[in-house]
Amino acid sequence: MLILSRKAEESIVIGDDIVVKVISIDRGNVKLGFEAPPKTLILRAELKEAIEQENKKATSQASKDVLDVLSKRIKH
């Protein structure tokens, strides 16, 4: 992991087309601004984890449903 220190209004460039700018720092809160191509998905880590969990649940339920259907077809 790369760790960088930045002050308010300073930026970090990622690759050729992503810029992360420190907008403000106030009482332990940091506001960041992101400039990236429109197709670049930017998510908070906890939201990404929640989406992944929901996808796993949906996949496992879909797999169970498919197995139930196949099992019924085999029995007939």
Per-residue pLDDT tens digits for 2-53 = 999 999 999 999 999 999 999 999 999 999 999 999 999 999 999 999 999 9
- In this structure, are 18 and 48 located in the same domain? no
- In this structure, are 30 and 4 located in the same domain? yes
**Range(s) of the domain holding residue 53:** 43-76
Q: Are 48 and 67 in contact (CB under 8 A)?
A: no
- In this structure, are 53 and 74 located in the same domain? yes
Q: How many domains does the chain have?
A: 2
Global pTM value: 0.67
Pairing, β 18-26 against β 11-14 = antiparallel
- In this structure, are 6 and 26 located in the same domain? yes
Q: Are 11 and 19 in contact (CB under 8 A)?
A: yes
- In this structure, are 32 and 57 located in the same domain? no
